[in-house]
Structure 1
Amino acid sequence: MPVVVTTSPGFGRHGRIPELIADRGWEFIRCIDTEKADGGLSEEIGRADALVVGLVPVTPETLAAGVNLKGVVKHGVGIDNIDIASCTTAGLPVCNTPAANADAVAELAVGLMFSMARFIPQGHISVASGGWNRQIGTQLGGKTLGIVGLGNIGKRLARLAVGLGMKVVATEKFPDEAFARNYEISFLPLDELLAVSDYVSLHVFGGADNISLIGERALSLMKPDAKLINLARGDVVDLDAVAAALEEERLGGVAIDAYRSEPPDVSHPIFQHPRAVFTPHSGADTREALENVGLMVIESLDAIFAGDPPPYCVNDDELALR
């Protein structure tokens, strides 16, 4: 009986996924003990045939202890917390779930734009507290949206934004020119994108290349009434610089879904700013997206346990060279 260990709070809980896991007869162990730094993974990894990864990093030490591991699967898209090189050295495939939650994240980005444009959180607080503070907002139609990272999520967002009558500009390391032509999207260097955009939405991976991608210098290039959305990784944005820009009215608003540490330290001044909106890393948290992600994880696990090349493998080329 294969042993599946997961550090994801969500894997195996939604839609058809619990039934599918039960049908396969796997021993299923969830390591999410909040009182332990690794959720309790170190206590169970030695028994695991496969590891389904949440936010707990997969390190060389994890792999050394995982003597029975046959594969590592991310419950989600971002694999920046997995040491892929060490997995490859150990002969382990690493899989993720590309595009499974793209619609959910893109829709939240639109929701956050509306929230900032029409002061929705502030209006709710006003009415619920007995007030009647009507604020004059703006419409999204005719505004320019800058998408930093036009991958699966960025493309979904671009389609929605174009449907709302927005102009879309983007940066992307591997640009899809055909898609851009179809939706009249212009590719720009990051500095130019920041300068022309009314909204900037971040959809890039974390990691060393993108740490504080949006910091003091980047913010200085943005329009003073522009609004920033971070649905990427917490370390992509310098919160100190963003808080200062809001306070000095050099930034019109910010909406944040991802944080360097989660839950974040709310003593930071940004959490008291009236033009900041926060969500609890819930970009992918829809029933549909969570089921899609779970189905793709199970598809990879089935292949791994059958000894077949798994789908959605991010290091298959490197493994083939071993």
Structure 2
Amino acid sequence: MSIVIATTSPGFGRHGRVRELLEETGWTIIRCTDNEVPDGGLSKHIENADFLVPGLLPVNAATIAHAPKLRAVLKHGVGTDNIDIPACTAKGYPVTNTPGANSNAVAELAVGMMFAMARNIASGHMSVVSGGWDRQPGTEISGKVLGIVGLGNIGKLLAKKAIALNMAVVATDLYPDRAFVAEHGIEILELEQLLARSDYVSLHVFGGTGNTALIDAEKLGLMKPGACLLNLARGEVVDNDALANALSEGRLRGAAIDAFVTEPPDVSHPLFALPNVVFTPHSGADSLEAFENVGLMVIRDIQDFIAGRRPAHVLNPEVFTR
């Protein structure tokens, strides 16, 4: 009988070698990506699924309550804050993710966002296409200080790119890679010190309760006048009400946001009326190369499960000792 894979990730299996490899396996792929229903339509198919490959939609106890065949939950990406891992563990389902597979894509978008804010690219585009010719002088990112909050896979790649652009890099991380920091001349600071020193602050931390409103009104007040904030982490990491106030009052030069609490976001929020904010639709990881990398890792993990092997990135290994 064919292996059945239910996925709520729109990008899974659609790019590069992944499409061909999935066809070769003969697995049945059920796409639960209907935007008109809260779970993408997964509830109609979960009972037949051997494996669940979620994207950004939540996976909780209710999601997997009626999944008698399910063998594992494999995140199509890195962040698992939308997956209730304890609930999966209680049911005996291993949870995996794909660390590093899309890190370069996110780091490159962060660099692009810095250039967009520094050189007024979005407003310049709108000026030209509307028949205007508003030549606003920008700034150069060379010589500026980039503060990276979260020096993991993405943060490290971003640091190397920024250094190549002649930026100074400071970072904060609970468990920094000391060898990497020493090799690249990165200064490790407390968050408050980083905010006070940086011209650009780029967020690359996990979402969830511990990081909710990590950047709030108080933290925004510590940032340098004219600094810019980038959120390529999760929407809840930044208090957007406080950010809108800081921007509208001219205390910050700009912001770039790729992640939102609710997606798509409510564009009636004051933040969306500000001209000095760049928005992208949670597309930091959305490069063809990243989709291929992530998809290949998911396929490899499924093949491991089928063969009775333990994949490399199981986040709840205790399920194997029950």
Q: 1:42-57 maps to which residues of 2 (within 5 A)?
A: 42-57=43-58
Q: Give 1:71's aligned residue.
A: 72
Residue 321 of structure 1, CA deviation: 4.3
Q: CA–CA distance in 2 between the matches of 1:305 and 1:219?
A: 49
Deviations along 1:56-91, whole A, 9 cap, x unmatched? 111112222111111100000000111111212222
Secondary structure of 1:136's aligned partner: coil
Residue 311 of structure 1, CA deviation: 2.2
Residue 308 of structure 1, CA deviation: 1.3
Q: Give 1:81's aligned residue.
A: 82
Contact 1:299 1:311 in 2 (8 A): no
What's the % identity of the aligned pairs?
A: 60
Q: CA–CA distance in 2 between the matches of 1:40 and 1:311?
A: 30
Q: CA–CA distance in 2 between the matches of 1:173 and 1:88?
A: 26
Contact 1:70 1:305 in 2 (8 A): no
- Please say if 1:176 is aligned against 2:158: no
Q: Give 2:290's aligned residue.
A: 289
Name the Cα RMSD after superposition: 0.9
Q: 1:157-196 maps to which residues of 2 (within 5 A)?
A: 157-196=158-197
Q: 1:126-205 maps to which residues of 2 (within 5 A)?
A: 126-205=127-206
Q: CA–CA distance in 2 between the matches of 1:302 and 1:71?
A: 12
Q: CA–CA distance in 1 between the matches of 2:98 and 2:221?
A: 36
Q: Give 1:18's aligned residue.
A: 19
Q: Select between 19-28 and 153-162 the one with higher mean Cα deviation.
A: 19-28
Deviations along 1:179-212, whole A, 9 cap, x unmatched? 0011100111101100100000000000000011
Contact 1:170 1:188 in 2 (8 A): yes
Q: CA–CA distance in 1 between the matches of 2:145 and 2:169?
A: 6
Residue 41 of structure 1, CA deviation: 0.7
Q: CA–CA distance in 1 between the matches of 2:321 and 2:296?
A: 29
Secondary structure of 1:61's aligned partner: coil
Residue 35 of structure 1, CA deviation: 1.1
Which structure 2 segments of 5+ residues have no match? none
Q: CA–CA distance in 2 between the matches of 1:188 and 1:321?
A: 40
> What is the letter of the counterpart of residue 246 of structure 2?
A
Residue 44 of structure 1, CA deviation: 0.5
Q: Give 2:319's aligned residue.
A: 319
Residue 320 of structure 1, CA deviation: 4.4
Q: CA–CA distance in 2 between the matches of 1:290 and 1:101?
A: 7
